[in-house]
Amino acid sequence: MTRRAAALAEAAREIRRLELEGMGLFLIAELYRIPVRRHGSRYFSSFDTNHLMLPEYLQGQPGTLTLGYLQEQLADRVEEIWDREDAKRSVTHLRRAG
């Protein structure tokens, strides 16, 4: 299994775990600060009266979010974490050797 495949599998496990806790894709994206892709006009929601009646924290950002996109972005975050852990291990190893 390649490192990317392992990161995608880890991302899928995390998404599934959070879904079982009752979180939706948008909440998971917000939790990991993954941006939502925008399509079309960002001003459309300003004309939707139902949208405007929602509290500001529920209005969010207009856009779309797919499971595949979320999984790819989360896998990128997993790889970043692994890279930092590898860097810490190599620094620790160099200190012991020195």
Give the chain's domain count. Answer: 1
Mean pLDDT of all residues belonging to the chain: 81
Q: What is the pLDDT of residue 40?
A: 44
Please write the tens of the pLDDT for every residue from 11-49: 999 999 999 999 999 899 989 988 876 444 555 555 667
3-state secondary structure the chain: CCHHHHHHHHHHHHHHHHHHCCCCHHHHHHHCCCCCECCCCCCHHHHCHHHHHCCHHHHCCCCECCHHHHHHHHHHHHHHHHHHHHHHHHHHHHHHHC
pTM: 0.68
Give the span between the Cα atoms of 30 and 33, in whole angstroms.
Answer: 5
**Full domain range(s) for residue 91:** 3-97
